Structure 1
Amino acid sequence: MPEPIKVYSFPPLIEPGATVLVLGSMPGVKSLQAQRYYANDRNFLWRILYALSGREPDETYEERVRYAASIGVGMWDMIGSCVRPGSLDMNIRDAEPNDLPGLVAAHPTLRALVFNGTKSHSIYLKHFKGHPTLAGLDLLRMPSTSPVPTPAMRTLEDRLREWTRLRPYLRFPSDR
């Protein structure tokens, strides 16, 4: 059996003025192949972000990225590199965290860190809990937007009920 290869996350996707940083664990196989955040069409993240403003997702990745930036959302992953066969978080080994304090220090407008799933949150707790640079940010642990169903999170609507807690941190055109 071949040795699993080491995988690496993407650079942060964040613009000046961002108010929220959505933190995944590590991009899945489809996202790594496409070199795009949340590239798996079955992942719920893009549909959730758009549903928060009552819109349908734009067609292209570039439009989606612009939309996320326009409402104050940045994206990154808690893990910079790891060994993981496939896309499941449970298969992650040898995880090395990204420099979350460094990114937060460079973006003083951030108000909240949003953990997209349990693994993202557990990596935060292991490496950054109590870090002074992160003090004062609201921490929102959300159910994963992964297409893998859980007993409590099976559909878009299930996840959206929880992810609506993000809305007060976002900037919508009607808010400006």
Structure 2
Amino acid sequence: MSRSPLLEGLPPIGSPDARLLILGNMPSVLSLASGQYYGNPRNAFWRIIGEIFGCEADAPYQNRTEVLARHGVAVWDVLKHCRRVGSLDSAVEPDSMVPNDFGTYFAARPGIERVFFNGAAAERNFTRLVHLDVPATFVRLPSTSPAQTMGYAGKLAAWTAALTG
């Protein structure tokens, strides 16, 4: 029996008419504690989103999520439940992974055209655990996590090209 805690992810954010979906793997310890996506201040997600869509990275969370919704962007994670110590994707116990209900999610949001994976773990686990035929383009982007070693400028360039292209 595992001694790692069973973690439950966050509900999706964004409007029902979203065209873009950004999928992380599982929220970090700080994100889960705050109930906010990308709650680790060292994660570059909100800084990148702020530069792309013109909002302050440290604005109140509700303001940032409203900016995403106005731009047709939704955010969720691949995993609904898992066991993990710490925040690293590599620490997730593989046999504990339970994906979110993407069948229902995509059925309720038929306008989603592009899905962006925030890093390799999100893409790998979605591919392994979710078996749907969705008429969307799927693209892996560099992780915004502070554990990902690509420099900020490279991350910003890749995310900007993807979200504005």
Normalization by structure 1: what TM-score? 0.86
Change (3 A) 1:13 1:54: closer
Paired residues in the alignment total: 162
Q: Which position in structure 2 is the counterpart of 1:121?
A: 123
Q: Which position in structure 1 is the counterpart of 2:137?
A: 138
Q: Which position in structure 2 is the counterpart of 1:17?
A: 17
Aligned to 2:97, what secondary structure does the other structure show? strand
- How far apart are the structure 1 equivalents of 2:155 and 2:164? 17
Shift of 1:36: 0.7
Shift of 1:25: 0.4
Q: What is the letter of the counterpart of residue 145 of structure 1?
A: T
- How far apart are the structure 2 equivalents of 1:65 and 1:123? 25
Q: Which position in structure 2 is the counterpart of 1:100?
A: 102
Task: Could you list the structure 1 runs, at least 4 aligned residues long, displaced by more than 3 angstroms after superposition.
Answer: 53-56
Runs of 5+ unmatched residues, structure 1: 170-176
Aligned to 1:122, what secondary structure does the other structure show? helix
Shift of 1:54: 4.8
Q: What is the letter of the counterpart of residue 155 of structure 2?
A: R
Question: 1:38-117 residue pairs with structure 2 within 5 A?
Answer: 38-57=38-57, 59-93=59-93, 94-117=96-119
- How far apart are the structure 2 equivalents of 1:38 and 1:168? 21
Q: What is the letter of the counterpart of residue 80 of structure 1?
A: K
- How far apart are the structure 2 equivalents of 1:165 and 1:98? 27
Answer yes or no: is 1:166 the counterpart of 2:158.
no
Q: Which position in structure 2 is the counterpart of 1:174?
A: none
Identity among equivalent positions (%) equals 35
- How far apart are the structure 2 equivalents of 1:65 and 1:54? 13
8 A contact 2:53–2:67 mirrored in 1 = no
Q: What is the letter of the counterpart of residue 16 of structure 1?
A: P
Normalization by structure 2: what TM-score? 0.91
- How far apart are the structure 2 equivalents of 1:44 and 1:16? 25
- How far apart are the structure 2 equivalents of 1:48 and 1:65? 13
Q: Which position in structure 1 is the counterpart of 2:153?
A: 157
- How far apart are the structure 1 equivalents of 2:163 and 2:148? 24
Aligned to 1:52, what secondary structure does the other structure show? helix
Change (3 A) 1:149 1:119: closer
- How far apart are the structure 2 equivalents of 1:167 and 1:3? 39
Shift of 1:97: 0.7
8 A contact 2:23–2:115 mirrored in 1 = yes
Aligned to 1:102, what secondary structure does the other structure show? helix
RMSD, aligned α-carbons: 1.6
